Amino acid sequence: MTELQSLTNLKSGTYFITGTDTDVGKTVCTKALLQAASKQHKSTLAYKPISAGCEETHLGLRNEDALILQQNSTLKVGYDEVNPIAYKQPIAPHIAAIENEQPICLTLINQGLDFLQQQQAQFLFVEGAGGWHLPINNQQLFSEWVIERQLPVIVIIGLKLGCLNHALLTVKTIEQSGLTIAGWVANHLQHDMPYVEQNINTLKEFIDAPLLGTIPFLGNINEQDLSLYIDVNFNG
Q: Coil, strand, or helix at residue 40?
A: coil
Phi/psi region, residue 178 (left: phi>0; alpha: psi -120 to 50; beta: rest), is left
235: phi then psi, degrees, rounded to nearest 5: -95, 115
The beta strand positions in 53-193, using DSSP E, are 55-57, 60-62, 85-87, 123-131, 153-159, 181-188
Helices (H) and strands (E) in the chain, counts: 8, 12
Q: Are 84 and 53 in contact (CB under 8 A)?
A: no
Other C-beta atoms closer than 10 Å to the C-beta of 217 total 14
**Given the residues 31, 48, 172, 204, the one annotated as active site:** 48
Active site residue 48: yes
Please report, as a single letter, which amino acid is at residue 57.
T
Q: Are 102 and 95 in contact (CB under 8 A)?
A: no
Catalytic residues: 48
